[in-house]
Structure formats: C-alpha cells, structure tokens
C-alpha cells in the first residue's frame, strides 16, 4: 500500500480485479475504500506488483516480477502517470528484482533489490533516479555480500543518508550484520556502528522506519540482538546501536510487517496475528483485533492516526472483509475496526478457455441435492472475466461454470 497526497490509497499485489472492476495488480482507492475508476492501468503489468509508491505529483512507482507493462518491455520497475497510464519517460531497466521503493524530497526515488545493474550500468542492489526519470550517476552504492545478496529494506534520512536492511554480513568491505548506513553518495557511513550479533543465523531485516528523533524501528526475521530478546521488532539508536530500553521480550514473534503510530506504539503482524507494542516494546494488552496469523502483508498510518492494513485475510474480528481494512483511533468514541466502502458485485470470476462456451449457474445451498439454476450463457473472449449476477440476490449464492458443447 501507499498513501497519496490527496488522501487516496494505492494498493498492489496479486489480483486482477478490485470491487468487481478489472484492475491488473494495482489499483487506486478513494479515502472511503471505494474503487477509483479514473486510475486505469489498461492491460497493466504482466506479473505481480510487490511494491507501490505514490509520488508528490501524483505519479506512481511500481516494482515486482513483471517484464512488460501495457505490452511494453519495462522489467521490474516502472512509473505510471496519475491516470494509471505508463510513463514513457521512465525507461530504466533493472536486471533483477526490486524489493523496495522510497520517494525522495526532490521528486526522485530510490530503488533497492536483487539487481546488480540498471541500464547496463553497475549498481549494487541500489539505484537512485532523478525526478525526470534518469538514473542518478552521482550515487555509487557500496557492494554488499553475504546472505541472499540483496537489499530487502531501505529508508532515507532527512540528510540524504540511506539505511539499508537485509541478511548481508558485509557492506563495502566493512562488517555489518543485516543493517548498515550509506552516505548520500553511496559510500559506507562508518559512524554507523550497527547492532552486534543478530540471531538466529538466518536473520534478516526486512523493514525500516526512521523516527523523528533519528532513531529507527527495524523489523524482520530475528529473535535476539546482542543477547537481548527482540522478537522481530527492535529499536536502534541514531548510530545503529541497540536501544536497550525497547525490548520485545513478550508477545509472539513478529513477521516484520509493522507500523509506528504517532504515540510511539508499534502495531505489528505476529505469528498469532495482529498485536501492538507499547513505546517501550512491552505488549499492549488493551489492543484486541482478531486477524488470521500471517494474513497481513502491509500497513500504513494515515495523517489522522487511522491505520490501514492489507493482505490475504478474509475476516477481521469475525466479520467478512477481504484484503483491506482500517483501524480507527484509540479514543473511546473511535475504537475498533472500520470496514472500508467495499461495493458489492455478486457474481463470479471465470478463468476459462477463450472460444469455449459456458453456462453460468447458481444455487443457494451446496447441501445435496443442490438445485442449480441457469443464470446466463457466454463465449469466452478474454480470461479471466467477471460475470455479474444482475438479480442482486439477498443472502448467499454459489456459482459454477458448465462447459457447453
């Protein structure tokens, strides 16, 4: 997810429609969660979009496993205009995947991932682009080694310095485990001492949030730092050393997906679902929102303090809500979960064979013997396709497609 300056919400992932509207892997929602049809990506990316970032001018950066966008070769990273169309002035080509995108104050952006070159020019897992889309050749990032050989998380400080996270053990010839800081030119900032031993050996830092006081919250796959219990979320001082006043020794291990509230509390996705930590890292037992474990992939704090979370869940607190929901504030008059304005479109998606004839049928019960009633016949001209039920039924209906001769 990414919040736009106008208060809208960009979402990306593995979907081909939202609220019944075709939208290939990326969509824009209005502030109430309804689909914004003025943002139209056309045929869109040909594979999953894993990261989306809204720029100040309304442009949209996307990255993922795609090779083509709207039929044009634009692998791993692309820029869309405010109406969803592909920005043809951004023609950069990364030779491997992009994991993270960060907007810069000058209108440019920073990309991090598995790539070793951009436009055929050596770029060690990091690349900086100017506002006009050109590769910034003044940024020469230090090489990393160890682990997966990638940068999985990136954050930019107000002075232009870049904090990176992953599972590396060395940056620019210096020993750094999982987190390091580069100066504005891409060289190693040796004043950043970094945390010491991070456990277990398979640890990685996959998310970084810079706080206003210069400290940073990091999340990922780890259970301890320097012998202190840190269950997937920790706070580092401005020099990278561990802040031992923030210890996550209670609760359940985090998955590295988190958001920091204005009051310093940390909302995180744990192995038992959503949980919240107090500003000192202790478990906030007053927070109780039930979401299936490992069901949240992204969070974002809105300017009014409300928290959006998105992922693969289909229920929140026992209520059917799919993919995205919002938490209201902490006051007594605004508590709990807000279901966004998900317009309902009854019917089914069919991934069939083009040129094949189908009959769409429905029933109100799957208990045998089920009575199936014909709804419509169609010949597939594109796949997948959404087939609406024009009768707007009350209660539940189940749909199926039957191949016709």
What are 75-108's pLDDT values in tens digits?
999 999 999 999 999 999 999 999 999 988 888 9
Which residue's structure tokens are 């950066």? 61
Place of tokens 């026992």: 318
User: Rounded distance, CA 289 to CA 310, Å?
Assistant: 14
270 pLDDT exceeds 90? no
What is residue 284's predicted lDDT score, i.e. its pLDDT?
A: 87
pLDDT the model gives residue 330: 61
Total Cβ atoms within 10 A of residue 180 = 27
Interatomic CA distance for residues 70 and 46, integer angstroms: 8
Structure-model confidence comparison of residues 268 and 113, the more confident one: 113
Q: How far apart are CA 216 and CA 203, in angstroms?
A: 18
pLDDT at 332: 34
Closest CA to 11 of 58, 62, 55, 76: 62
User: What is the overall mean pLDDT for the chain?
Assistant: 87
CB 78 within 8 A of CB 59: no
CB neighbours of residue 159 within 10 Å: 8
Q: What is the model's pTM? A: 0.78
Mean pLDDT, to the nearest integer, of 132-154?
94
Q: Among all chains, which residue has been given the structure tokens 């689909």?
A: 35
Can you tell me whether residue 280 is helix, strand or coil?
Answer: coil
**349-387 pLDDT per residue, tens:** 888 888 899 999 999 888 888 789 998 898 988 777 778
pLDDT at 334: 42
In the numeric block, the tokens 């089914």 are attached to 348
**What is the dihedral sign for C-alpha 277, 282, 286, 292?**
positive
The percentage of the chain sitting over the pLDDT mark of 90, rounded to a whole number, equals 49
Ranges 135-149, 194-208, 239-253, most confident = 135-149
Contact 128, 136 (CB under 8 A): yes
On the question of pLDDT at 333 being above 50, the answer is no
* Range with lowest mean pLDDT among 44-48, 113-117, 393-397: 393-397
Q: With cut-offs at 50, 70 and 90, classify the pLDDT of residue 8.
A: very high
Q: Is the pLDDT of residue 339 over 90?
A: no
User: How many Cβ atoms are within 10 Å of 197's Cβ, its own excluded?
Assistant: 11
Q: How confident is the model at residue 253 (pLDDT cuts 50, 70, 90)?
A: low
CB 109 within 8 A of CB 135: no
Confidence of residue 344 (pLDDT cuts 50, 70, 90): low
pLDDT in tens, 153-210: 999 998 899 999 999 999 999 999 999 999 999 999 999 999 888 888 788 999 999 9
Residue 331 is predicted with a pLDDT of 41
69 exposure class (CB count in 10 Å sphere: 0-12, 13-18, 19+): buried
């Amino acid at each position: 997810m990414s919040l736009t300056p106008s208060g809208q919400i960009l979402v990306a992932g593995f979907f081909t429609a939202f609220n019944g509207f075709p939208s290939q892997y990326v969509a824009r929602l209005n502030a109430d969660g309804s689909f914004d049809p003025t943002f139209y990506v056309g045929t869109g990316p040909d594979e999953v979009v894993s990261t989306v970032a809204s720029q100040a001018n309304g442009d949209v950066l996307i990255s993922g496993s795609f090779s083509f966008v709207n039929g044009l070769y634009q692998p791993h990273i692309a820029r869309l205009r405010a109406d969803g169309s592909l920005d043809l002035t951004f023609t950069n080509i990364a030779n491997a995947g992009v994991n993270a995108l960060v907007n810069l104050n000058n209108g440019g952006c920073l990309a991090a991932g598995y790539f070793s070159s951009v436009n055929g020019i050596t770029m060690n897992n990091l690349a900086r682009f100017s506002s006009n889309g050109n590769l910034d050749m003044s940024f020469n990032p230090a090489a990393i080694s160890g682990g997966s050989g990638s940068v999985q998380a990136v954050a930019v400080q107000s002075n232009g310095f870049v904090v990176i996270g992953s599972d590396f053990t060395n940056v620019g010839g210096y020993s750094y485990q999982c987190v390091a800081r580069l100066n504005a030119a891409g060289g190693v900032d040796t004043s950043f001492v970094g945390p010491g031993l991070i456990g277990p050996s398979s640890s990685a830092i996959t998310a970084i949030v810079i706080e206003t006081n210069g400290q940073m919250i990091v999340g990922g796959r780890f259970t301890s730092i320097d012998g202190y219990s840190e269950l997937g979320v920790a706070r580092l001082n401005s020099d990278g050393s561990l802040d031992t006043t923030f210890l996550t020794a209670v609760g359940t291990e985090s998955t590295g997906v988190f958001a920091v509230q204005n009051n310093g509390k940390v909302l995180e996705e744990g192995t038992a679902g959503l949980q919240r930590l107090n500003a000192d890292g202790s478990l906030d037992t007053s927070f109780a929102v039930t979401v299936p474990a490992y069901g949240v992939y992204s969070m974002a704090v809105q300017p009014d303090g409300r928290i959006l979370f998105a992922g693969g869940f289909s229920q929140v607190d026992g209520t059917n809500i799919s993919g995205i929901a919002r938490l209201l504030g902490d006051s007594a008059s605004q508590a709990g979960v807000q279901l966004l304005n998900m317009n309902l479109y009854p019917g089914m998606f069919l991934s069939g064979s083009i040129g094949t004839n189908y009959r769409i049928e429905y029933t109100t019960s799957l208990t045998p013997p089920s009575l199936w009633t014909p709804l419509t016949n169609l010949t597939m001209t594109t796949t997948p396709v959404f087939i609406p039920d024009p009768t707007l039924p009350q209660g539940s209906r189940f749909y199926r497609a039957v191949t016709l001769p």
